[in-house]
Amino acid sequence: MPTAWSETAPAGVRQSPRFLTASLTRELGILLSLSVMFPYMIHLIPVPENAQLGPRLLPMLYTPLLATLWGRMRSAVLVALSAPWLNWALTSHPSPPSAIVMTVQLLVFVFTLRMLLTGLGAQWFLTAPAYFVGMAASVVTTAVFPTLIGGQAALTWATRSVAIGLPGIAMLVLINWLALHYYPPGPAGGGPKAA
């Protein structure tokens, strides 16, 4: 991942790289706002009390998906690490155990999607396999730490989560297709060509 070097150093003096530049800070602000806004907007949709749209539509994955597709890997990783906890701090959802599982899933989702983009190029279907690899990582995590899911069997929990999340998987594939169609990646998998 590239880092910015300070341009104020005297000639011949090498300074350490700066990780958090102004443009990265601005980008993170926008992406983290979206990572809170998407789940919040989903929860505003009127549904019966027992219907939870978050697990059905998977809005926590939208922002890391877009950041990864547009070649913003550093931002995608930071959003994957921060979004579940920021949502918990602001809305008390997800619960801390669920946020741990979601953080693992988001990180694996982002890295898998990046590897698929690198290996296969920009394809409309890449989010589906990335989601399933992320879910497999969640299964391993919950099998090792079953208290994160209330002591349930990890495979039973994962099967139910995938069944409930089928509309969300379809939504992820649609967002993947729309992003690649209207904002295709630039050369070498960088940001959109228009950027």
Residue 11 CB: number of other CB atoms within 10 A? 4
Tell me whether residue 80 is in a domain.
yes
Please give the pLDDT value at position 4: 45
Tell me whether residue 195 is in a domain.
no
Per-residue pLDDT averaged across 116-141, rounded? 95
Tell me whether residue 75 is in a domain.
yes
Tell me whether residue 104 is in a domain.
yes
Model pTM? 0.82
Residue written as tokens 């297709």?
177
Q: What is the pLDDT of residues 66-113, one digit of tens each?
A: 999 988 999 999 999 999 999 999 988 899 999 999 999 999 999 999
Q: How many helices (H) and strands (E) does the chain have?
A: 8, 0
Tell me whether residue 163 is in a domain.
yes
Give 148's pLDDT tier (boundaries 50, 70, 90).
very high
Q: How many domains does the chain have?
A: 1
Which of 83, 76, 134 has its CA nearest to residue 126? Answer: 134
Which of 34, 6, 36, 35 has its CA nearest to residue 21? Answer: 6
Domain of 135 in residue numbering reads as: 23-43+53-189
Residue 81 CB: number of other CB atoms within 10 A? 15
Tell me whether residue 133 is in a domain.
yes
Give 143's pLDDT tier (boundaries 50, 70, 90).
very high
Per-residue pLDDT averaged across 44-62, rounded? 80
Q: What is the pLDDT of residues 2-36, one digit of tens each?
A: 444 444 545 555 554 566 677 778 888 888 888 88
Tell me whether residue 12 is in a domain.
no
Per-residue pLDDT averaged across 166-179, rounded? 96
Q: What is the CATH number of the domain that holds 124?
A: 1.10.1760.20
Structure tokens at 150: 């209330």
Please give the pLDDT value at position 162: 96
Tell me whether residue 124 is in a domain.
yes
Instruction: Kindly tell me the burial class for residue 14, based on how many C-beta atoms sit within 10 Å of its own C-beta (0-12, 13-18, 19 or more).
Output: exposed
